[in-house]
Amino acid sequence: MRLLFVAPNILVPGTNGGSTHVTEVVHGLRKQHDVLLAARYRSHGHQTLASGAGTAGHPGTYPLAAYHAARIYPHARKFRPQAIYERFSAQGAGIMLGRALRIPVISMVLDNHATTLTLAGANKLITTAPHLVPKRYHPKCVRVSWGANVERFHPDIDAGSLRKELGYGADDFILAYTGAFYEWHGLDILMQAVAKLKADGNIGKLKVLLVGEGHVREEIQQLARELGVADRVRFHDRVPYEQIPRFLAISNACTAVYDPPRNPNLAKHGMYFDPLKVFEYLACGKPALVMNTGNMRDIFTPDEHAMLVETASTDALAAALNRVMTDTELRAQLSTAGRELVVRKYSWQSHADHLGELFGELVDRNGETAP
């Protein structure tokens, strides 16, 4: 099939989760289909149209969606897609193109900010959180899960001399975190947990590696100094997506113990994000400490695939850290079962294959109507 992927506010390649999502889904779809990607200004790559204005606007800003659709339309006419994938942040540009080209549209809905144009106009809505979609649109909802590139993220990555370059010893126990630094990501609780381990005499050879950027990074650095654990924590600048596996490869365990209630939207609707980093950690065969939320419990069996840790609890996180550092059998169990689960069920390729099936059904129903 010929598919048009509409994501005009996403920079590809890029370093955030949106860029990872678009990059990997397009890559997976291209294994079997011809895909034209309409992405943000300054994007580049094979069959990538840098059409976007560089912003998603606000929900309901249809003039911006119309602007994006108008910029994409001449290229779409030439490409002659049979169906469209619209990322919800396109604000309905994909729906406009679908109507103009008389072809079906699948829209991805990530949160509760999708426009009515997207919700009403899409033939299918794919989401990790159906409860965020108004009930009248539920008949066309398909629940999906995100994943990891299990070919890029795997247990046998050659990280070269990175551990030594970063100043770690061979016997240091490295706990890694990759991604953004936001208040609700709970990195302050991680600092407090490390301080508790130190006060209790259980810190051992623990070293924490935080890779990324965000508006609370300086606050976390200051907190580490105030708690007397700055010598145990290394802050590394954000790295390109393709370099992340090397940083995971030198780690002994990874963490993503967020504190969702500190995010107003998550406090209201529950934790509906499936953090991509968790799947990447597991794909690399790394024991992962993960927030104990409903969506994580739906995916992972505690102490089989991942360690589910009570959010906002310094004591719980400190106990989990101490356990993962000292229990070699547990680490082996998590490493093996976590990787197997992601390969079997939560790879980007599996997600792309599922999308391909949905597109096939819609195209068969619609017929060859693209101009």
- Give per-residue pLDDT as tens, 109-129: 988 888 999 999 999 999 999
Number of domains composing the chain? 2
The span from the CA of 339 to the CA of 309, in Å, is 19
CATH of the domain at 224: 3.40.50.2000
- Give me the domain span that covers residue 202: 162-345
Does 17 have pLDDT greater than 90? no
Q: What is the pLDDT of residue 369?
A: 46
Does 370 have pLDDT greater than 70? no
Give the pLDDT band of residue 273 (cuts 50, 70, 90).
confident
Whole-angstrom CA distances from 15 to 25, 46, 95, 243 are: 15, 18, 27, 10
The reply to whether 167 and 107 lie within a common domain is no
Q: Could you tell me if residue 183 is inside a domain?
A: yes
Q: Could you tell me if residue 371 is inside a domain?
A: no
Amino acid type, 250 = I
The reply to whether 139 and 180 lie within a common domain is no
Give the pLDDT band of residue 58 (cuts 50, 70, 90).
very low
The reply to whether 179 and 130 lie within a common domain is no
Q: Could you tell me if residue 154 is inside a domain?
A: no
Does 290 have pLDDT greater than 50? yes
Judged by average pLDDT, the poorest of 54-58, 90-94, 193-197, 312-316 is 54-58
The reply to whether 193 and 306 lie within a common domain is yes
Q: Could you tell me if residue 156 is inside a domain?
A: no
Give every CB contact of residue 353 below 8 A, 6+ residues apart in sequence. 28, 32
The span from the CA of 319 to the CA of 163, in Å, is 26
Can you say whether the dihedral through the CA atoms of 273, 276, 282, 286 is positive or negative?
negative
Give the pLDDT band of residue 43 (cuts 50, 70, 90).
confident
Give the pLDDT band of residue 355 (cuts 50, 70, 90).
very high
The reply to whether 27 and 90 lie within a common domain is yes
Q: Could you tell me if residue 153 is inside a domain?
A: no
The reply to whether 184 and 236 lie within a common domain is yes
What average pLDDT is seen over the chain?
A: 93
**What are 125-151's pLDDT values in tens digits?**
999 999 999 999 999 999 999 999 999
The reply to whether 260 and 167 lie within a common domain is yes
Does 54 have pLDDT greater than 70? no
Residue that wins the pLDDT comparison between 13 and 54? 13
Distance, C-alpha 22 to centroid of its chain: 10
The reply to whether 351 and 240 lie within a common domain is no
Residue 46's Cβ-count burial label (10 Å; 0-12, 13-18, 19+) is exposed
Q: Could you tell me if residue 204 is inside a domain?
A: yes
The reply to whether 115 and 172 lie within a common domain is no
Taking the CA of residue 353 as centre, how many other CA atoms within 13 Å lie in the half-sphere pointing to its CB? 8
Q: What is the pLDDT of residue 44?
A: 85
Q: What is the pLDDT of residue 241?
A: 92
The reply to whether 121 and 183 lie within a common domain is no
Question: Which bin fits 150, alpha (ψ -120 to 50), beta or left (φ > 0)?
Answer: alpha
The reply to whether 185 and 71 lie within a common domain is no
The reply to whether 85 and 14 lie within a common domain is yes
Does 251 have pLDDT greater than 70? yes
Q: What is the pLDDT of residue 41?
A: 85
**What are 253-271's pLDDT values in tens digits?**
999 999 999 999 999 988 9
Q: Could you tell me if residue 171 is inside a domain?
A: yes
